[in-house]
């Protein structure tokens, strides 16, 4: 595993200065990102579930669903994950054929709004669960099973990538705190005395 935070990456996550949210609206700092995070997922579900009522072409429904799932995967992986939870991941294949996970995290995780984070995780895991249920319900349907498997695999890939990225961020933070405590014992003694 490798992480790649930088000043340029910090700028890409935004500085956290946003207008206050309207009363009764989205409670986080990034309502547009939240809309796109859930929008493509809902559109893919709607096209999959009620596309047959609107259009008679199974191929058209399949293509539309696949395009929406691909757009959702890209937006979640590259935009909304970075804005809503301050994380970004990708997987790279090295020259020797080995797979390498690469994680980025916001340099100042305290700027991540709690509602943005909650919304991101609930929608990401809810998406996986919904596609898993659709896959189970369509195990005997040769025409609908590929769409369900694609939705499940793309949603699960994002969920797994962000889960690994989140764990890596927590591990690096713990390591950083321990390293600072070891190199500055006076700082630890001052912190303990202040909390007592």
Q: Write down the pLDDT at residue 151.
A: 94
pLDDT in tens, the chain (196 residues): 444 444 444 444 455 444 455 556 778 888 898 899 999 999 999 999 998 788 788 888 999 999 999 999 999 999 998 888 888 888 889 899 998 888 877 777 667 888 988 899 999 999 999 999 999 999 988 888 999 999 999 999 999 988 888 776 666 656 656 666 667 766 656 666 666 5
Residue 37: the pLDDT is 92
Assigned token pair, 98: 């080995």
Query: Is residue 33 situated within a structural domain?
Result: yes
Asked whether 76 and 66 are in contact (CB, 8 A), the reply is no
In a domain, 71, yes or no: yes
Q: How far, in Å, CA of 67 to CA of 107, rounded? A: 33
Domain that residue 131 falls in: 2-12+27-195
> What is the reported pLDDT for 2?
46
6 Cβ contact list (under 8 Å, min separation 6): none
Residue 125 counted as domain residue: yes
Q: What is the pLDDT of residue 29?
A: 84
Task: Quote the distance between the C-alpha of residue 7 and its chain's center.
Answer: 21
Sign of CA dihedral 179, 183, 184, 189: positive
Domain membership flag for residue 131: yes
For residue range 64-121, list pLDDT tens digits in order. 999 999 999 999 999 998 888 888 888 889 899 998 888 877 777 667 888 988 899 9
Distance CA 195, CA 2 (A): 35
> Beta strand 2-3 with 87-93: parallel, antiparallel or unpaired?
unpaired
**pTM here?**
0.72
Q: What's the pLDDT at 52?
A: 79
Is 189 inside any structural domain? yes
Dihedral Cα 155, 156, 161, 162, nearest 10 deg: 70
Does some domain include residue 22? no
Q: Give the number of domains in the chain.
A: 1
Rounded to whole angstroms, the Cα distance separating 187 from 6 reads: 26
20 located within any domain = no
Alpha-carbon torsion (110, 116, 118, 122), positive or negative:
negative
Angle between helices 31-54 and 145-183 in degrees, nearest 10: 160
Closest-CA residue to 41 (of 190, 150, 151): 151
Task: Classify residue 97 by its DSSP letter.
Answer: S
Any domain includes 17: no
């Amino acid at each position: 595993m490798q992480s790649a935070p930088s000043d340029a990456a910090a700028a890409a996550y935004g500085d956290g200065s946003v207008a206050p949210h309207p009363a009764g609206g989205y409670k986080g700092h990034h309502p547009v990102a939240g809309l796109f995070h859930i929008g493509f997922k809902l559109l893919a579900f709607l096209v999959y579930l009620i596309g047959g009522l609107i259009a008679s072409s199974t191929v058209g429904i399949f293509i539309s669903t696949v395009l929406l799932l691909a757009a959702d995967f890209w937006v979640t992986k590259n935009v909304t994950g970075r804005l809503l939870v301050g994380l970004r991941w990708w997987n790279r294949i090295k020259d020797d054929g080995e797979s390498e996970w690469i994680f980025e995290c916001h340099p100042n995780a305290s700027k991540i709004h709690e509602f943005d984070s909650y919304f991101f995780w609930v929608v990401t895991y809810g998406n996986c669960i919904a596609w898993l249920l659709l896959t189970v319900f369509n195990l005997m349907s040769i025409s609908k099973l590929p769409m369900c498997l694609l939705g499940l695999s793309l949603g699960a890939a994002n969920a797994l990538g962000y889960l690994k990225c989140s764990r890596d961020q927590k591990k690096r933070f713990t390591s950083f705190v321990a390293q600072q405590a070891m190199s500055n014992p006076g700082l630890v003694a001052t912190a303990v005395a202040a909390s007592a």
